A and B are shown apart, each in its own frame.
Chain A
Amino acid sequence: MIRVENLRVVLAGRPVLEGVSLTVEAGEIVALLGPNGAGKSTLLRAVAGLVPSRGRIALGPDGQGCRLAFVPQETAAPRGLSLLEIVLLGRLGRLGFAVGPADLEAAGRALAAVGLEPLAGREAATLSGGQRQMAYLAQALAAEPEAMLLDEPLSALDLRHALEVAELLRRLVRERRLACLLVLHDLNAAARMADRLVLLRDGRILAEGPAASILRPHNLAALYGIEAALLDGPDGAPVVLPLRPLGAGREAA
Chain B
Amino acid sequence: MSPAATVEGVWRALLGRRVAALALGLAAVALLFVIDLGTGPARLSPGEVAAALLGRAFEPTTSAIVWSIRLPMAVLGLLVGAALGLSGAVVQTVLANPLASPYTLGLAGAAGFGAALAIVLDLPLPVAGELRIVLVAFLVALFAAGLLLLLGRLRDGRPEVIVLAGLAILFLFQALLSLLQYLATPEALAQIVFWLFGSLARASWSKNALLAVALSVALPALLRLAWRLSALRLGEERAAALGARPGALRLEALAWVSFLTAAAVAFAGTIGFVGLVAPHLARALVGEDQRFLLPTAALAGAFLLLAASIASRAIVPGSILPIGILTALVGVPFLLGLVLRRPSGSRP
Shortest distance from the beta carbon of A174 to any chain B beta carbon, whole Å = 21
Instruction: Report yes or no: A92 in contact with B14, Cβ–Cβ below 8 A.
Output: no
**B226-278 residues at the A interface, CB under 8 angstroms:** 226-228, 230-231, 233-235, 237-238, 240-244
Instruction: Report yes or no: B13 in contact with A121, Cβ–Cβ below 8 A.
Output: yes
A97 to B222, CA, bound (A): 12
Instruction: Report yes or no: A89 in contact with B242, Cβ–Cβ below 8 A.
Output: yes
Out of A48, A81, A97, A101, name the residue touching B241 (CB < 8 Å).
A48
Tell me whether B3 is interfacial, beta carbon within 8 Å.
yes
- With A92-B242, A108-B6 known as contacts, the answer to whether A85 contacts B230 (CB < 8 A) is yes
Q: C-beta contact mask, B175-200 vs A, less than 8 Å → 1, else 0? A: 00000000000000000000000000
A92 to B244, CA, bound (A): 8
Out of B3, B237, B283, B347, name the residue touching A72 (CB < 8 Å).
B237
B347 contacts which chain A residues (CB < 8 A)? 123
Tell me whether B291 is interfacial, beta carbon within 8 Å.
yes
A86 to B348, CA, bound (A): 12
A69 to B238, CA, bound (A): 10
A78 to B293, CA, bound (A): 15
Interface size on A, as a range, is: 35 or more
Binds B, one of A109-117, A160-168, A175-183: A109-117
Shortest distance from the beta carbon of A61 to any chain B beta carbon, whole Å = 21
A105 to B241, CA, bound (A): 22
Closest to A80 in B: B288
Out of B10, B283, B346, name the residue touching A84 (CB < 8 Å).
B10
Closest to B7 in A: A108
Tell me whether A77 is interfacial, beta carbon within 8 Å.
yes
Tell me whether B224 is interfacial, beta carbon within 8 Å.
yes
- With A81-B348, A104-B7, A109-B4 known as contacts, the answer to whether A89 contacts B14 (CB < 8 A) is no
Closest to A45 in B: B237
- With A85-B348, A104-B8 known as contacts, the answer to whether A78 contacts B3 (CB < 8 A) is no
A126 contacts which chain B residues (CB < 8 A)? 345
Instruction: Report yes or no: A92 in contact with B231, Cβ–Cβ below 8 A.
Output: yes
A74 to B13, CA, bound (A): 30
Closest to A122 in B: B348
Shortest distance from the beta carbon of A155 to any chain B beta carbon, whole Å = 16
Q: C-beta contact mask, B310-348 vs A, less than 8 Å → 1, else 0? A: 000000000000000000000000000000000001111
Closest to B347 in A: A123
Instruction: Report yes or no: A123 in contact with B346, Cβ–Cβ below 8 A.
Output: yes
A139 contacts which chain B residues (CB < 8 A)? 242
B57 contacts which chain A residues (CB < 8 A)? none
A105 contacts which chain B residues (CB < 8 A)? 4
Tell me whether B167 is interfacial, beta carbon within 8 Å.
no
Instruction: Report yes or no: A117 in contact with B6, Cβ–Cβ below 8 A.
Output: yes
Q: C-beta contact mask, A14-57 vs B, less than 8 Å → 1, else 0? A: 00000000000000000000000000000001001010000000
Tell me whether A120 is interfacial, beta carbon within 8 Å.
yes
Tell me whether A11 is interfacial, beta carbon within 8 Å.
no
A45 contacts which chain B residues (CB < 8 A)? 237
Out of B3, B241, B243, B244, name the residue touching A108 (CB < 8 Å).
B3
Instruction: Report yes or no: B4 in contact with A80, Cβ–Cβ below 8 A.
Output: no
A108 contacts which chain B residues (CB < 8 A)? 2-4, 6-8
Q: Point out which of A69, A71, A79, A90 has the most chain B C-beta atoms below 10 A from its C-beta.
A: A79
Q: Point out which of B4, B6, B348 has the most chain A C-beta atoms below 10 A from its C-beta.
A: B348
Instruction: Report yes or no: B226 in contact with A104, Cβ–Cβ below 8 A.
Output: no
- With A72-B241, A78-B234, A117-B7 known as contacts, the answer to whether A89 contacts B227 (CB < 8 A) is yes
Closest 3 CB pairs of A and B: A80-B288, A108-B7, A112-B3
Spell out B's residues near A (CB within 8 Å).
Answer: 2-4, 6-8, 10-11, 13-14, 223-224, 226-228, 230-231, 233-235, 237-238, 240-244, 283, 287-289, 291, 345-348
Spell out A's residues near B (CB within 8 Å).
Answer: 45, 48, 50, 69-72, 74, 76-82, 84-86, 89-90, 92-93, 95, 97, 99, 101, 104-105, 107-109, 111-112, 117-118, 120-121, 123, 126, 136, 139
Q: Other CB < 8 Å A-B pairs besides A112-B3, A120-B11, 17 of them?
A: A50-B240, A72-B237, A78-B235, A79-B346, A80-B289, A82-B14, A82-B348, A84-B11, A92-B244, A99-B11, A108-B7, A117-B6, A121-B10, A121-B14, A123-B348, A126-B345, A139-B242
